[in-house]
Amino acid sequence: MKIKKLETFTKTYVSFVKTTLEDGSVGYGQMSTYHADITAQIFHKQVAPWVLGKSWHDFSDIENWILEKEHKFPGSYLLRAIAGLDTSLWDLRGKLEEKPVTLLIGGSTGALKVYGSSMKRDITAMDEANRFNKLFHEKGIGAFKYRIGSECGRGVDEWEGRTEDIVKTINISLDNSVKKLVDANSCFSSEQAIEIGKLLEDNNVIHFEEPCPYWESEQTKEVTNALSIDVAGGEQDCDLRIWRDMVERKIVNIFQPDVMYLGGLTRTLQVAKIIEEGGFICTPHSANLSLVTICTMHLLKAIPNAGPYLELSIEDEDYYPWQQKLFLDNPFLVENGCVTVSEKPGWGIDINPDWINSAEYQVSEFK
């Protein structure tokens, strides 16, 4: 059965892909968020022409075919576009076999623990602690990640003294059972990060994410070697050669692939296997409430080296207005600190038709 038509429904931050086969079977996926309008152009110019009229069954082969044909364009944007094709094909297969994607890859449906992931740096320490406590008591979320330093900040804090203040405040303000994680988003030098890492150890933080510029792997390795707490990273990386190197050299303790940055579930499964063979934990990056988190839910229920938590953004319309009303119902509903991986076929979600109808439409079709 061949791919007949590829349609995209695009706004600035999000672009959904609809793949249709010759017999009319349909699957929905999503390209990576952020500048999705640019990614959609790449999809129709550099992805669709190579797959229309081709058999859809071997996901790895069809994606490698695209990468080979577009070998002059390795890197992020092409993979962000391929993610839309890949995730739509997994949805299509799930619907044809009447199974959720997680069952197709050896997993199970049901409850999955989350950690509440804060994206804010303009928030005071006490305000952050208060909203964590609210989510702990109302939704049973038992782990939280917050931001320290400034994003790619060249060693400069968001404001003077904020990192030390929020680390200490969060520690004394939350229930002792709550797990605490931090994300520096490539802010610090290795020397700074090691010093801050000691502060984190003293304040019961268990996870130190992207302490140094992620592209400076030797700096990150220095931090990993110097601290007793786990150092995490990998969300930005989309080249399998880099993943193999990171695992072989033990750059971090916890590895964080992003399904959409990597080019979809198929390549993420390959990366998860590389991580597993190295003896490490895979806790994927899923920092917004689009399809990336749904895909990650299915992935975490299937891989043997999954971390204990799904990253679940706690931000609402004030921070992420573009993620509102993407789906019908609420696939991210949290009860007792868990979300639920649906038993419905495919990804188990319904994209909001009002969103689709208000998006920019493009189509590539096999004649």
195 — pLDDT class (breaks 50, 70, 90): very high
CATH 3.10.180.10 fits 3-98+353-365, yes or no: no
- Alpha-helix runs per DSSP H in 52-161: 59-69, 76-97, 101-104, 125-139
Stretch(es) of the chain classified as CATH 3.20.20.120: 102-341
How many other C-beta atoms can be found within 10 angstroms of the C-beta atom of residue 126?
12
Asked if 310 and 339 touch (Cβ cutoff 8 Å), the reply is yes
Asked if 359 and 325 touch (Cβ cutoff 8 Å), the reply is no
16 — pLDDT class (breaks 50, 70, 90): very high
Residue 330: exposure state from Cβ atoms within 10 A (0-12, 13-18, ≥19): exposed
Share of the chain above pLDDT 70, in %: 100
Classified by CATH at the fold level, domain 102-341 comes out as TIM Barrel (3.20.20)
Asked if 208 and 182 touch (Cβ cutoff 8 Å), the reply is yes
* Model pLDDT for residues 32-51, shown as the tens digit of each residue: 999 999 999 999 999 999 99
Stretch(es) of the chain classified as CATH 3.30.390.10: 3-98+353-365
Nearest Cα to 30, choosing from 237, 236, 258, 310? 258
* Phi, psi dihedrals of residue 313, rounded to the nearest 5°: -60, 135
* Model pLDDT for residues 219-259, shown as the tens digit of each residue: 999 999 999 999 999 999 999 999 999 999 999 999 999 99
Predicted TM-score of the model (pTM): 0.97
3-state secondary structure of 103: helix
Q: Is 367 a residue whose pLDDT tops 90?
A: no
How many other C-beta atoms can be found within 10 angstroms of the C-beta atom of residue 2?
13
